[in-house]
Amino acid sequence: MDHHRHCPAGRVRRGVPDNLLEPTGRLSNVLAAWARGGPAEVPAGIGFDVLRMPAGLARPALARMRAYGTRTGPVVFGPSGAEFLVRVHSAGGWREPDAALLPRGELVLLPPPEAGPDRPVGERAWLVRPVHHCAGMASGWGVAWGGELSEPYREAHAARAETAADPAS
């Protein structure tokens, strides 16, 4: 599917999910911070929700999501763990151990799109980089439903607990 067909001419920006950032009212601030090579502050719970989990569970949860055929959406690694950007209001019932739904308005630092695990910016990097979607696309386009992360996360959490409990592993 051509995600750019509804974009105004000259408005396609590689790796910039306009549809997630514009509702926050900070799109221009984000673009300015990224142009300077720094991370950008964006409030959670407006254009997207953020589920934070221990960094060591992100890759196993992502692998399980992919095995189930579930869309993953952008994921940021940082000092506080891994932060999954999910569809706004899709994770209200999130009650998983050692993980949290960030409250509406809590600021998250989003690194520039090119900041990957091999090139972190301010101790933050994209484990799954964002993809460009125009502001006119639905705000949930390009991210996972929060509830679809629940089972893969629980399985990854249980596997880690089993490994920790088994002295032979």
Domain ranges of the chain: 18-163
Q: Please report the pLDDT score of residue 15 as a whole number.
A: 64
Mean pLDDT for the chain overall: 86
Percent residues over pLDDT 70 in the chain? 83
Q: Please report the pLDDT score of residue 168 as a whole number.
A: 67
Q: Please report the pLDDT score of residue 39 as a whole number.
A: 96
> pLDDT tens, 124-159?
999 998 876 666 655 666 788 999 999 999 999 999
* pLDDT bucket at 9, cuts 50 / 70 / 90: very low
pLDDT score of 5 more than 80:
no
Q: Please report the pLDDT score of residue 140 as a whole number.
A: 65
Q: Which of 98, 96, 71, 97 is nearest to 86 (CA)?
A: 71
Q: Where are the alpha helices (DSSP H) in the chain?
A: 18-21, 27-35, 55-67, 146-165
Q: Which of 118, 135, 139, 162 is nearest to 11 (CA)?
A: 135
Please state, in angstroms and rounded to a whole number, the distance separating the CA atoms of residues 169 and 54. Answer: 20
Q: Are 33 and 39 in contact (CB under 8 A)?
A: yes
* pLDDT bucket at 12, cuts 50 / 70 / 90: very low
Q: Which of 37, 79, 52 is nearest to 153 (CA)?
A: 52
The 10 Å Cβ neighbour count of residue 112 is 24
pTM across the whole model: 0.87
> Cβ contacts of residue 48 below 8 Å, gap of 6+?
20, 85, 86, 87, 88, 139, 143
User: For 144, which DSSP code?
Assistant: B
Q: Please report the pLDDT score of residue 1 as a whole number.
A: 40
* pLDDT bucket at 164, cuts 50 / 70 / 90: confident
- Angle, CA of 60, 64 and 68, to the nearest 5°: 170
> pLDDT tens, 83-106?
999 999 999 888 999 999 999 999
